[in-house]
Amino acid sequence: MPLSAGDIRQAFDALSEEFKRREQRADIVIVGGAALVLLFHARESTKDVDAYFVKPEAALVREAAEAVADRLNLPGDWLNDGAKGYFVGISAGRVLHDSQELTVRAASIEQLLAMKLSAWRDAIDRSDAKLLLSQMAGSFDDVWSAVKPFVPPHQLDKASYAFDDLWETHHGRS
C-alpha cells in the first residue's frame, strides 16, 4: 500500500497519540523515499518509512508503530529501521513532526544523498540523488567532502562512482 505525504503525516499524528497513551517520548530520524516525499514532494508516495529510532529502544518504537498500523490499516512495517545498515552517524535535518511525545526529523541532505549513492539500485535512487544534489552548493570536492562522512566504509567505492556519474550528469565533467 503506497503511503502519500498525507498518509505519513496522519500516521505520525497517530504515533504521537500512541506514545502519549504509553507515557513515552520518541525521537526518530527518517530517510529514503519518505523523507523525499515529505521534504520535496519528490513523488506522490513511498512504500514505507525508513527510520533510525533514536529513542526509546527500537522494540518499543516497533510496538507503537504496529499499534498505529492496526488502527490505520497500514502495512505492519510502515515504519521500520531496515535502512540502519546505511547509517554512518545520525545527522538531523528539518523537523517534519514535532509534538510533546514525538519528534520526527529528516536526516540532513548530505546524509540522504550519501545513502542514495550507497544504495544506487534503480532509476528512483538516481532521480532522488539528482534532486538532493540540486539542493547542495559547492564544487565537486566540496559536495563530496560533505557527503563522504555519511557513506558506510564498505560502500565507499560504489558511492564514489555513483557520485562521479551523478555529478557529470548534473554538472558536466568535474
35-92 tens-digit pLDDT: 999 999 988 899 999 999 999 999 999 999 999 999 999 999 999 999 988 899 999 8
CA 85 to chain centre: 13
Cα–Cα dist 56/107, whole Å: 18
Q: How far is CA 106 from CA 40, 47, 97, 125, in A?
A: 11, 17, 10, 17
Nearest alpha carbon to residue 40 among 88, 109, 86, 103: 109
> Is the whole model's pTM more than 0.75, yes or no?
yes
- Other C-beta atoms closer than 10 Å to the C-beta of 140 total 14
Q: For residue 174, what pLDDT is reported? A: 60
Rounded percentage of the chain residues whose pLDDT exceeds 90: 89
65, 15 Cβ separation under 8 angstroms? yes
Cis previous bond, 152, omega within 30: no
